[in-house]
Amino acid sequence: MAQTDTRMHAIVKDRPGPGLTVTTVPKPSPGPGEVLIAVRHAGVCGTDLHIADWDPWAQGRIRPPIVVGHEFAGEIVQMGEGVTELSVGQLVTAEGHLVCNHCLQCRTGNGHICRNTRIIGVDRDGAFAEFVVMPATNVLSLDGIPTEVGAIMDPMGNAFHTVLTAEIPGSTVFIVGCGPIGCFAVGIARAAGAAKVIASDVNPKRLALAQQMGAQLTINARTDDVVRTVQEATGGEGVDVVCEMSGVPSALHQAFATVRMGGRVQLLGIPRGEVPVDFATEIIFKGVTIYGVIGRKMYETWHDMRRFLTNGMLDPRPVITHRYPLARVDDALAAIRSGDAGKVILEIA
Amino acid sequence: MAQTDTRMHAIVKDRPGPGLTVTTVPKPSPGPGEVLIAVRHAGVCGTDLHIADWDPWAQGRIRPPIVVGHEFAGEIVQMGEGVTELSVGQLVTAEGHLVCNHCLQCRTGNGHICRNTRIIGVDRDGAFAEFVVMPATNVLSLDGIPTEVGAIMDPMGNAFHTVLTAEIPGSTVFIVGCGPIGCFAVGIARAAGAAKVIASDVNPKRLALAQQMGAQLTINARTDDVVRTVQEATGGEGVDVVCEMSGVPSALHQAFATVRMGGRVQLLGIPRGEVPVDFATEIIFKGVTIYGVIGRKMYETWHDMRRFLTNGMLDPRPVITHRYPLARVDDALAAIRSGDAGKVILEIA
Amino acid sequence: MAQTDTRMHAIVKDRPGPGLTVTTVPKPSPGPGEVLIAVRHAGVCGTDLHIADWDPWAQGRIRPPIVVGHEFAGEIVQMGEGVTELSVGQLVTAEGHLVCNHCLQCRTGNGHICRNTRIIGVDRDGAFAEFVVMPATNVLSLDGIPTEVGAIMDPMGNAFHTVLTAEIPGSTVFIVGCGPIGCFAVGIARAAGAAKVIASDVNPKRLALAQQMGAQLTINARTDDVVRTVQEATGGEGVDVVCEMSGVPSALHQAFATVRMGGRVQLLGIPRGEVPVDFATEIIFKGVTIYGVIGRKMYETWHDMRRFLTNGMLDPRPVITHRYPLARVDDALAAIRSGDAGKVILEIA
Amino acid sequence: MAQTDTRMHAIVKDRPGPGLTVTTVPKPSPGPGEVLIAVRHAGVCGTDLHIADWDPWAQGRIRPPIVVGHEFAGEIVQMGEGVTELSVGQLVTAEGHLVCNHCLQCRTGNGHICRNTRIIGVDRDGAFAEFVVMPATNVLSLDGIPTEVGAIMDPMGNAFHTVLTAEIPGSTVFIVGCGPIGCFAVGIARAAGAAKVIASDVNPKRLALAQQMGAQLTINARTDDVVRTVQEATGGEGVDVVCEMSGVPSALHQAFATVRMGGRVQLLGIPRGEVPVDFATEIIFKGVTIYGVIGRKMYETWHDMRRFLTNGMLDPRPVITHRYPLARVDDALAAIRSGDAGKVILEIA
C-alpha cells in the first residue's frame, strides 16, 4: 500500500483547528532500542475524537503536525540497534505511554502514574499509519492473539486495570456505563470469577452488548430505578464492587448508593468539571474505598491481559462493532459520535 | 425413623479401641442460644477414620462415649431461648468449630485459629445422628443449596480457604493431590478465574474426577515427571500458585520445584512427621510465600462459598462418589480406605 | 458519691430541646453476659455537643430521656450471669458500638460497619454517670493504661483506624485538621514510623498541640499557602498519605492537591452537605486511593491501641487540655465550643 | 591514590583457588548509559569471604580474573553517553544486581527476582577498587547520607526488605540472629513502629550491638531457653513477626515455635543443606505465613531506605565495628571470620 519505500499513508492532525487529514508522510526509521512495526489494525478512541474536534484539551496539548492514533497491533519489520528480545516477523502490540523510568513511580513498578509520561499520537507521532516506531520496552508479543484484538488491548487494559485491582472472585460487581471499556469490564469480571455482574447504561444497544459479554442483569438508567434494582438484586445489601466507567454525575451518585458497606468503587469514567458529593453519607459512613484508575499498570496489566486472552477466558470481539479502512477515519469518528457504537477499529493492512 | 420422642439413632465411639457403634442415644435439647437440627446428609471425613481406627491422635484426643461426625446439613426443628435470626423449618449447615470469641484471634476476625477451639464429633457430640444441637452463631442458612451439598461445605470450605487466599484471576494454578478437597479446589480455581489449572495424583480415578471438575491438564505422579510437565506447560516459568493438598513429602518438594519465582504455595495437606527441606533453593532464593491453611475463615469463607454455590459458579456433586445410610457407616469408611473414593456421604433423612 | 445504693448521679437528656440535665437516675444492673462498671473518667465528644444543642441530627436520632456519653473507663464492680473472662476490680474501657453479630459485616471481622449498630449514650443509656452497664464482649481490660487515657480510647481509636489502615513506615503523612483526633493521629503516625508528619489547622493553639505530639512541620491554613508548603516539604512530589480530619471543604481540596501520584487519602472529617469535587484532576488522573473511615475496627483497632499505649509508644495526655467534674458538664461543652480545646474529659470518681 | 590515569588499585580474584590479591588493574570507562564512580567506602560481605575461600559455591560461579566487592558508595566522576538524570560530583551508591528488564518479574516491579540477574563483584568486575562503572539505572543519589552508610545500603536493604514486607506498627518482632543484617533489622523494626523487638544470638558481643540498635529484650541462644523466654515476654501468645536471619537449623525451629497463631515468618538466613521440618505442627496448624526474602526490591526498598536514613529514623553506624584501608582486605576478612564483628568496611578514598 505504501507508495514508495520512503513515504507512507497516515492520518495527520496537520494544523490547529477541527478535522483530520488522510495524507502521506515520511516513513519513520527505528533508532537504537526501537523497532519499526507495520500496523495491521488500530483502535479509534475518544481521545482521537477530541483531537479531531480540536476541543480545549486538544488545543492545550497537541502540537501539529502529528500522526494521531495510539491503539494498534502489527508486525515487526525492522529492528533498531541493540534490540535483542524481539524479532522481525513477530506480531505485537504496544503500550502507548512512554515513561521516564527514573521517577519514584517508575522505579517502584508504577510507571503508569509517571509524571513525565509522553503518549504516542498525542505528544509524538502515533499509529494511524502504515508504520510506527516504538521503543522495544513498550512492545508486547501477541503470542497468538489476533491483531484485531491486539489493536484494542490498550483500552481493554484500562478495563482490566479497573476490574482486577478489586477483589473479584465470588463478588457482586456493578459496571456503570457500557461503552466499549464498560463492555470489556463486564467480560473480564465474569472471567475473573464474579458471582454476579450487573451493568447499566442509557443506550439499549450498549446494554445488549453488555449482556452478550456476560452481564446477568442489565439496567436501563433512563427508564429504570438503578439504585432500587441493584439493591433488590443483592438482597438489599448493595454490591461488593462498583466500576464507574461513564463519567456521568448521576451515575457517580448511583455508584456510591449501590456499593455495600465496606465495598469498593473503581473510578475510570472522567466527569467534566466538578460534581457535588455528600462525603458523609456517600463515602465515609459507608466505610467505602475508592480507587482512581489511570491507564494500565506497566506491565502487570498487560501480562494479565495476555493470560486471559491466550487461555480463552475472554473473547472481546463482540464489542468490535465497526471496522473501516484507514482512509475512512471520518466515518469511524462518526460511528463513535453516534453513541451506538461499541469499539471502532481501522483495518490498515 | 426415631424410635421414640426421646431417643435417636447415632454413630457412637463408645469405648477406647477400634470401631464405631450404630446405636440409639438420648435426643439432645437446645439450650439458650442454640438450635436443634434434624440431620439430612452428613459427610464422612478422614478424621472419622482416625477415630474409628483409634490411632494415636484419636487416643490422645477423644474421650468416649461420643457421637462422631462433624460435616452435615439438615433442617432446624427447635429453637433455644434467645435465638432470633434463625427459624424452624430452615435448611442449614454449620461450622463445626466452636471458638471462644474472646482471644485475640477471635476478636480480630480470625476465629479459625482460636487456640481454644472445640470441634463437634471430636470434643463433644457430633452430627452422625438424627439430631444435633448447635450454637446459633455457627449455623448458616443454605439459601437453596441442596443439603447433600450443604453436608460437604465443611471440607469444601478448606478448599475455598486454600484457593481464595491466593490471587487467582489470570493465574496458573497447580493442585497437588486430588482427594475430595483437591478436586473441590480444582473447581474453585476454575470458577475463580484461573488461567490454567493443572492437577496431579497417583490415582487415575481421582485424576479423572479432577478433570471432570475442570483441570485442563492432569499429571499421574506415579508415571509422569511432574516437575518437567508443569514447567513445560508454563513456558518454563513455573506456576503462580501451588495448592498442596496431599501431605506427601515428594509432592511437597514438587510444590516448591514448580512454583515460579515470587509465587505462592498454599499448604493444606498434612505430612506425617518431619520432611527435610532445602530452604535456600526451595524457598528463599525463589522469593516464595507459603501459607499454612487451617480450617475455614469464620465466616468469610462460608460467605464466599455460599456466593459460589448459589450463583451456579461451582457444582461439587461430581466429587460425591459414594452414598450410604447411617447404619452402613462401616462401608463408608471402607470406601475411603480404598483410596479410590471421592467424597463419601451418609444419607440420614 | 452515689446518694443511695439504688440511685446514681448522671447527665441526662431528659426532654426534646436544647440542654443537658445533671440529676440522679436509678443505678442499672447487669443482665446475663453484661458487667456493671463504676465510671472513673469519661471523654466529652462533638456528638455530646450535638445532643446538648438538639441539632437536626439529634432531633432525628435521640429519644429522651437518656443518659448521654459514650467515651469512658472505670472499674468493674459487678458481673452478670455467664461472664467468665472478666473479673470484679478490673480496670476497663469499652467499645460503645453494640453490633448485631449476625450480618455479613459482623461475621467477617468488620463489625464496625454493621448496619444494625446501636451506640451507648445515643441509642441507649451511656457513660456520663457513676455507673454504666456494658455487654462483656465490648469491654477491654486496660492492662495498666490509666483510666484518664482509657476514657479517650474511643476517639483515639478513630485516629488509629485512620492512620494504621494506610502504609505508614517510611511514609510522609499530612494530618489535615488538629482537633483532638487529628492530634492523636500526629502522635500515632510518628509512633508507627512515618518519615515526616506535617499538620495543618487554622488555630495556633491546636498547631502547638500537634507540634507537641510530634508534627515536624505545622501549617497555619489561615495564613500560609498549604499546598505550596507541603509540596516544598516533599520535593514537589506530594505526601504518601493524607489524613483528612477536619471536614472542611477547602481542607478536602488541599488533601487531594497535596497527595502524591498513587497516594492514599483517609477521610475521617465529616463535611456538612455536598462538596463539589473535580474527580478527574483531584482523584482519577492521580491514581489516588481514598478510604472512608468510620469508627474503629472491632476489635483489631483496640488491640493495636493497647499495644501502642502499654509499650510506651504514644502518650496522648498532652492532648487532654480540660478536666471537669460531672456536675460541670456545661463548662466542658463550652470549652469544646471555644475551638481552642484539645480533648475535654470528665473526672467522675 | 591512582598510580597513573589509566590504572587503579583493586582487589582481584586472579586465579581459581583460595585468596584475594591487592594489585592494579586498568581503570574502566563508562559506556553509553553508564557512569564512572570513584569509590569512597565499600562493605565486606560473607559473599566476598566465600570468593576468597574458593568454596564450592565460588568454584561453580566465579570466573577469574575479576575485581570483587559489591557494596559501595562514592562520587560520580564521569558520565557515559545519554545519561541525563545524574551528574558529575554527585555522591551515590548503587544496586549491585544487574537485571534483564524484559522478563515477567522485571516488567512487574519484581526485578529483584529476575532469573537473568548478574551481580557486580561476582559475575563482572566489582567495587573493591578505586573506580567502578555502573549502569545509570542502578545508581542512587545519597541525598546527604554519608558514604560510609551508603556503602552498606546493599545489606541494609536486605534487612529493610525482610522487615518492611511484614506488618510492623504495633507488632511484636523477634529477630533471630544478630549478625550485621540482624542488627540492622532490629533498628529498622524499632523505627518502623514495632511495639517490642526481641533479638537472639549465641554471641554476647552481637547481642550487645542488637541492644544498642534498640532491642528491648535480648536472648543468648546458647545459655537461655529461647522459646520459653519469648513466650513469657508475649503473654504466652508468641510474636506477630519473626525475622530469621541466621540460617541455623535450631534457630529456624525457634522461629516457628515462637511465632503466634496466624503470624508471619520472614526467612533471610540461608541454612546449609536440608532442615527437617514438621510442617503440621510448625506451620500448617498455626496458620502461619512464610516469606522467602531474596535481595532488595528494586527500587522500592532503596526508596524506603533513603526515607529512613535521610529523616533521621535510623542510624546504622553503631553496627560498623571495623574499618580498614583497601590494602588490608585480609584483615577485614579475618574480622568477619572471628564471628565477633558487626559490619566491616573498607575506606578507599
Average pLDDT over residues A107-136: 95
**CATH number (domain holding residue B71):** 3.90.180.10
Do C22 and C136 have their domain in common?
Answer: yes
Alpha helices in D130-198 (DSSP H): 147-150, 153-164, 180-191
Answer whether residue A4 shows pLDDT above 60.
no
Alpha-carbon distances, residue C270 vs C49, C112, C163 (angstroms): 15, 17, 16
How far does the CA of residue B112 sit from the closest CA of chain D (Å)? 9
Range of B283's domain?
157-292
**CATH number (domain holding residue D278):** 3.40.50.720
Residue B309 lies in a domain: no
Task: Output the DSSP codes for D198-218.
Answer: EEEES-HHHHHHHHHTT-SEE
Residue B308 lies in a domain: no
Cβ atoms D341, D206 nearer than 8 A: no
The closest of B5, B131, B154, B7 to B70, measured between CA atoms, is B154
Q: Is D70 a catalytic residue?
A: no
Please tell me which residue of chain C has the smallest CA distance to B140.
Answer: C102
pLDDT at A186: 98
Answer whether residue A2 shows pLDDT above 80.
no
The closest of B347, B304, B301, B298 to B327, measured between CA atoms, is B347
Do C323 and C277 have their domain in common?
Answer: no
pLDDT at D4: 57
Answer whether residue C193 shows pLDDT above 60.
yes
- Binning chain B into helix, strand and coil, the percentages to the nearest 5 are 30, 30, 40
- Are C109 and B104 within 8 A, CB to CB? no
Q: Residues A27-64: pLDDT tens digits? A: 999 999 999 999 999 999 999 999 999 999 999 999 99
Residue B225 lies in a domain: yes
- Are B307 and A171 within 8 A, CB to CB? yes
Q: Is A112 a catalytic residue?
A: no
Torsion angles phi and psi, residue A192, rounded to 5: -90, 10
Residue B303 lies in a domain: no
Torsion angles phi and psi, residue D87, rounded to 5: -150, 155
Do C229 and C171 have their domain in common?
Answer: yes
Do C15 and C28 have their domain in common?
Answer: yes
Please tell me which residue of chain D has the smallest CA distance to C192.
Answer: D193
Do C166 and C276 have their domain in common?
Answer: yes
Predicted TM-score (pTM) of this structure: 0.97
As a whole number, the mean pLDDT across chain C is 96
Q: Does A137 touch chain D (CB under 8 A)?
A: yes
Torsion angles phi and psi, residue C311, rounded to 5: -100, 10
Cell numbers for A343, please give them: 469499539
pLDDT at D2: 46
Q: Which amino acid is at B250?
A: S
How far does the CA of residue C124 sit from the closest CA of chain A (Å)? 20
Residue A302 lies in a domain: no
Residue D310 lies in a domain: no
% of residues, chain B, pLDDT over 70 = 99
pLDDT at B1: 46
Cell numbers for D63, please give them: 570466573
Answer whether residue D184 shows pLDDT above 80.
yes
Residue B163 lies in a domain: yes
Q: Does D298 touch chain A (CB under 8 A)?
A: yes
Q: Does B301 touch chain C (CB under 8 A)?
A: no
Cβ atoms B116, B100 nearer than 8 A: yes
Q: Residues D79-132: pLDDT tens digits? A: 999 999 999 999 999 999 999 888 888 888 899 999 899 999 999 999 999 999
- Residues in C touching D167 (Cβ below 8 Å): none
What was the ipTM of the complex prediction? 0.96
Do C137 and C16 have their domain in common?
Answer: yes
Catalytic residue among C21, C24, C50, C165: C50
Residue B2 lies in a domain: no
pLDDT at D20: 98
Average pLDDT over residues D64-82: 97
Minimum-distance CB partner of A169 among B172, B192, B195: B192
pLDDT at C105: 87
Which residues are registered as beta bridge partners of B75?
B38, B91
- Residues in C touching D191 (Cβ below 8 Å): 169, 193
- Residues in D touching B292 (Cβ below 8 Å): 279, 283-290
Question: What confidence tier does D299 reach under pLDDT thresholds 50, 70, 90?
Answer: very high
Do C13 and C36 have their domain in common?
Answer: yes
Q: From the CA atom positions of chain A, what is the Rg in Å?
A: 20
Q: Residues C291-343: pLDDT tens digits? A: 999 999 999 999 999 999 999 999 999 999 999 999 999 999 999 999 999 99
Structural domains in chain D (count): 2
Residues 6+ apart with CB under 8 A from C189: C163, C168, C173, C175, C197, C214, C243
How far does the CA of residue D276 sit from the closest CA of chain C (Å)? 35
pLDDT at D24: 97
First to last CA, chain D: 8
Cell numbers for B170, please give them: 489470570
pLDDT at C95: 97
Q: Does C144 touch chain D (CB under 8 A)?
A: no
- Are C261 and A113 within 8 A, CB to CB? yes
Question: What confidence tier does C1 reach under pLDDT thresholds 50, 70, 90?
Answer: very low
Cβ atoms C22, C329 nearer than 8 A: yes
What CA–CA distance (Å, rounded) separates B37 from B78?
7
pLDDT at D108: 83
Task: Output the DSSP codes for A246-281.
Answer: S--HHHHHHHHHHEEEEEEEEE-S--SS-EEE-HII
Minimum-distance CB partner of B169 among A168, A172, A196: A168
Residue C15: how many CB atoms within 10 A of its CB?
11
Do A242 and A280 have their domain in common?
Answer: yes
The closest of C204, C195, C153 to C174, measured between CA atoms, is C195
Q: Residues A264-278: pLDDT tens digits? A: 999 999 999 999 999
Minimum-distance CB partner of C303 among B85, B107, B299: B107
Interface A–B counts its CB contacts (< 8 A) at 49
pLDDT at C2: 46
- Are C169 and D171 within 8 A, CB to CB? no
The closest of A55, A43, A49, A46 to A17, measured between CA atoms, is A55
How far does the CA of residue D99 sit from the closest CA of chain C (Å)? 25
pLDDT at D1: 46
Q: Residues B219-259: pLDDT tens digits? A: 999 999 999 999 999 999 999 999 999 999 999 999 999 99
Torsion angles phi and psi, residue D38, rounded to 5: -85, 115
Alpha helices in chain C (DSSP H): 46-53, 56-61, 104-107, 147-150, 153-164, 180-191, 204-212, 226-233, 249-258, 279, 300-310, 329-337
Interface of A with C in 9-38 (CB under 8 A): none
Q: Residues B259-293: pLDDT tens digits? A: 999 999 999 999 999 999 999 999 999 999 999 99
pLDDT at B115: 87
Catalytic residue among D47, D93, D147, D162: D47
Average pLDDT over residues A249-260: 98
Catalytic positions of B: 47, 50
Q: Pick the residue with more confidence: C103 or B54?
A: B54
Do C237 and C333 have their domain in common?
Answer: no
Q: Which amino acid is at C290?
A: I
Do C13 and C140 have their domain in common?
Answer: yes
Residue A97: how many CB atoms within 10 A of its CB?
21
Do A27 and A146 have their domain in common?
Answer: yes
Do D12 and D148 have their domain in common?
Answer: yes
Residue ranges with strand state E in chain C: 7-13, 21-26, 34-44, 66-67, 71-79, 91-94, 97-98, 118-119, 131-135, 139-141, 172-176, 196-201, 217-220, 239-244, 259-267, 275-277, 289-292, 320-325, 343-347
Minimum-distance CB partner of B283 among D112, D237, D292: D292
Please tell me which residue of chain D has the smallest CA distance to C196.
Answer: D311
- Are A298 and D104 within 8 A, CB to CB? no
Q: Does A277 touch chain C (CB under 8 A)?
A: yes
Residue D99: how many CB atoms within 10 A of its CB?
23
What CA–CA distance (Å, rounded) separates D194 from D173?
7
Collapsing DSSP states into helix, strand and coil, what is residue D63?
Answer: coil
